[in-house]
Amino acid sequence: MGFFRKQQHEQVRQPRISDDNESFAFRRSRTMTGSLSSSVRSASESHAALRSDRLKHHDLKVTRRRIFWLLVGCLVAIATLYGLLSQFISSVQIVHTNLSAEQEQSYHAAIETYLRSNPGQRFYQTLNTEAMTRFVQQSYPELKQVTLSENGFMQPSLASVTLRTAIAAWTLKGQRYYIDEHGVAFTKAPAVEPTLVVEDKTGIDPADAGAVASERMLHYIGRLVALVQQGGMIVSKVELPADTSRQVNVYVQGRAYPLKTHIDRDPAAQAADLVNAVQYFDTKNIQPAYVDVRVSSKAFYK
């Protein structure tokens, strides 16, 4: 009977999509475009110039986002450029009230030469102040320190130079040498002339290879005098005795006897022995003819 026959389901025909009708086929997750205008040929044409409000809103959000990040990029670029220009050392201006015009010009030229030789250090963050100071000191040893500081946006950098303070002077063959507390010798006259003068009685020609006017001797005298004065005593005279090129006699203010030292020993150790010896003789109220501190941790006297 037909009632018990198995019902046959009709097969639903699926539309065939070809290249000709692909643009008219319905697709999920697609925005439908169109218009109510009768002038538009088809509401679903692939190149419709009119878009739905949803699509317009989506494109507007994308455009706003692009403009926002473009402005952020411009602000970052401007800030970076401003930071680089504010740190850039375009030129240098010497600031020191006690310099002559010749000194100011010489120091300025030396600093500019260093910056031209090291263009990567034309920024305050990359500037090696110690290397710049050493470079300038090669030509002008009287300088103790050279520093550069900011002076406003795109303004010349302010160069501050610190001159050495001489604690002793020494005249050799008509040339006057000045020695600072670190034992550095220079020939440029300081603002204040030192009262301590080294008396050379050796009779040795400074032009000889073993002359007393060596860098080692100059360094030794400067360090010894500075260390003795740091110990609370004032050096009144430094003497290089005859018939020797390595002995240095030191006279302390208020004491008539010399204290014999030697440049082969460390100036710090000899300064400590010298101060201890003077304090001992002051305590014992002894007035020796001389005191010899050339041997470590010992003092001989007569």
Q: 102, 131, 163: which is the final residue of a domain? A: 163
**258: domain CATH number?**
3.40.50
28 in a domain, yes or no? no
Same domain, 129 and 177: no
Which residue range(s) make up the domain with 260? 166-301
Same domain, 176 and 292: yes
271 in a domain, yes or no? yes
42 in a domain, yes or no? no
Same domain, 188 and 117: no
Residue given tokens 């670029």 in the structure block: 77
Same domain, 171 and 262: yes
Residues belonging to the chain: 302
154 in a domain, yes or no? yes
Give pLDDT, residue 94. Answer: 87
d(CA 248, CA 153): 54
Give pLDDT tens digits along the chain (302 positions): 454 455 555 555 555 655 555 555 555 555 555 554 545 555 444 445 556 778 888 888 888 899 999 999 999 988 888 777 777 888 888 887 678 888 889 999 999 999 999 988 888 888 899 999 999 999 999 999 999 888 777 788 888 888 998 888 888 777 788 888 888 888 888 888 888 888 888 766 555 544 545 778 888 888 999 999 888 888 888 888 887 778 889 999 888 889 999 888 888 888 998 999 899 888 989 888 888 888 887 778 88
Same domain, 148 and 230: no
The count of domains in the chain is: 2
Same domain, 121 and 227: no
d(CA 127, CA 123): 6
**125: domain CATH number?**
3.10.20
Give pLDDT, residue 209. Answer: 42
66 in a domain, yes or no? no
Same domain, 123 and 173: no
62 in a domain, yes or no? no
SS (H, E, C) the chain: CCCCCCCCCCCCCCCCCCCCCHHHCCCCCCCCCCCCCCCCCCCCCCCCCCCCHHHHHHHHHHHHHHHHHHHHHHHHHHHHHHHHHHHECCCEEECCCCCCHHHHHHHHHHHHHHHHHCHHHCECCCCCHHHHHHHHHHHCCCEEEEEEECCCCCCCEEEEEEECCEEEEEEECCEEEEEECCCCEECCCCCCCCCCEEEECCCCCCCCCCCCCCHHHHHHHHHHHHHHHHCCCCEEEEEECCCCCCEEEEEECCCCCCEEEECCCCHHHHHHHHHHHHHHHHHHCCCCCCEECCCCCCCEEC
d(CA 134, CA 122): 17
92 in a domain, yes or no? yes
Same domain, 140 and 185: no
Same domain, 255 and 179: yes
Give pLDDT, residue 302. Answer: 80
